[in-house]
Amino acid sequence: MKEIEIKCPRCGKVKTMNYKEAKQTVECPHCHFGFQLDKKTLSRQKWMTLLSTFLIILVISFVLTFTLRNANNTVLILILVLLGLVVAYVSNPIGAWLTFQFWGFSYEPKPKK
C-alpha cells in the first residue's frame, strides 16, 4: 500500500511512512518531537477497520458459498482460519487508508511518561 506523508506539527518537516506505522507514535526525524494520532482519528480508524473487516468477510462468504459447495469440513475449516488471518492482517491498513482518504490524519503531542 502506498506511503503517506506526514507533516510534523512542530517543525513542519515532512516524514513519509506506511499506513501500519501511522497508527503508532511518530518521532520527527528532524526535531525529535514525539506525536501520535489524536483520539478522533483513532476512533474513525477503528470504525473503518471494523467496516472493512465486515465487508471483506461478507464478500469472502459470498464467494465461498458458490465455490466450495462440495468441499469437506476439514478443508473448509482450514480455509476459514487462513482467511481469518488474512483479514486480520489487511483490515488495519485498509481502515487506516480509508480514514486517511476521507478525513486525513490529525496528530496530538505524545503525552510525557
Per-residue cell: 16: 513519509
Q: What is the dihedral of CA 34, 38, 41, 46, to 10 degrees?
A: 90
Assess 6 for contact with Zn ion (CB under 5 A): no
**Residue range at the interface with Zn ion (CB under 5 A); choices 24-32, 52-60, 86-94, 102-110:** 24-32
CA–CA separation, 22 vs 32, rounded Å?
16
Assess 33 for contact with Zn ion (CB under 5 A): yes
Assess 28 for contact with Zn ion (CB under 5 A): yes
Binding site for Zn ion (CB under 5 A): 8, 10-11, 28, 30-31, 33
